[in-house]
Amino acid sequence: MDKCEQCIIRQFNSLKALTRDELVRISDCKTFKTIKKGEVLFEEGQRIDGVYCIKKGVCKLSKISDNGRDQIVHLVKRGDLLGERSLINNEVSNLKATALNEMQVCFIPKVEIINDLKKNPNFTMDVLKNMALSLKASDNVIVDMAQKTVKQRLALMLLYLEEKFQFRENGSLNIYLSREDVASIIGTATESAIRLLAEFKKKELINLKGKEIFLLNKTSLKQISEGL
Amino acid sequence: MDKCEQCIIRQFNSLKALTRDELVRISDCKTFKTIKKGEVLFEEGQRIDGVYCIKKGVCKLSKISDNGRDQIVHLVKRGDLLGERSLINNEVSNLKATALNEMQVCFIPKVEIINDLKKNPNFTMDVLKNMALSLKASDNVIVDMAQKTVKQRLALMLLYLEEKFQFRENGSLNIYLSREDVASIIGTATESAIRLLAEFKKKELINLKGKEIFLLNKTSLKQISEGL
DNA sequence: CAAAAAATATGATAAATGTCATATTTTAAT
DNA sequence: ATTAAAATATGACATTTATCATATTTTTTG
User: Are residues B89 and A142, on separate chains, in Cβ contact within 8 Å?
Assistant: no
Q: Tell me the nearest-neighbour CA distance from B180 into chain A, angstroms.
A: 14
Q: What is the pLDDT of residues B21-71, one digit of tens each?
A: 999 999 999 999 999 999 999 999 999 999 999 999 999 999 999 888 999
pLDDT per residue rounded down to tens, chain A (228 residues): 678 999 999 999 999 999 999 999 999 999 999 999 999 999 999 999 999 999 999 999 999 998 889 999 999 999 999 999 999 999 999 999 999 999 999 999 999 999 999 999 999 999 999 999 999 999 999 999 999 999 999 999 999 999 999 999 899 999 999 999 999 999 999 999 999 999 999 999 999 999 999 999 999 999 999 988
Q: Let me know: does A101 contact A91? Beta carbons within 8 Å.
A: no
User: How many residue contacts between A and B have a Cβ separation below 8 Å?
Assistant: 136
Q: Let me know: does B190 contact B70? Beta carbons within 8 Å.
A: no
Neighbours of A33 (CB within 10 A): 13
The alpha carbons of chain A give a radius of gyration, in whole angstroms, of 19
| Residue B18: partners with Cβ closer than 8 Å, 6 or more residues away | B10, B26, B116, B120, B123
Residues 147-206 of A with CB under 8 A from B: 147-148, 152, 186-187
Q: Tell me the nearest-neighbour CA distance from B173 into chain A, angstroms.
A: 24
Torsion of CA A111, A113, A117, A118, to 10 degrees: 20
Q: Which residue of B has its CA nearest to A133?
A: B89
What is the reported pLDDT for A86?
96
Q: Which residue of A has its CA nearest to B66?
A: A226
Neighbouring C-alpha atoms within 13 Å toward the C-beta of A127: 31
Report the protein residue whose CA lies nearest the C1' of nucleotide C18: A189
Q: Tell me the nearest-neighbour CA distance from A22 into chain B, angstroms.
A: 18
Provide the H-helix boundaries in B9-120: 20-29, 84-89, 110-119
CA-angle at A170, arms to A165 and A175, nearest 5°? 30
Which residues does chain B have within 8 Å of residue A130's beta carbon, measured at their own beta carbons?
A: none
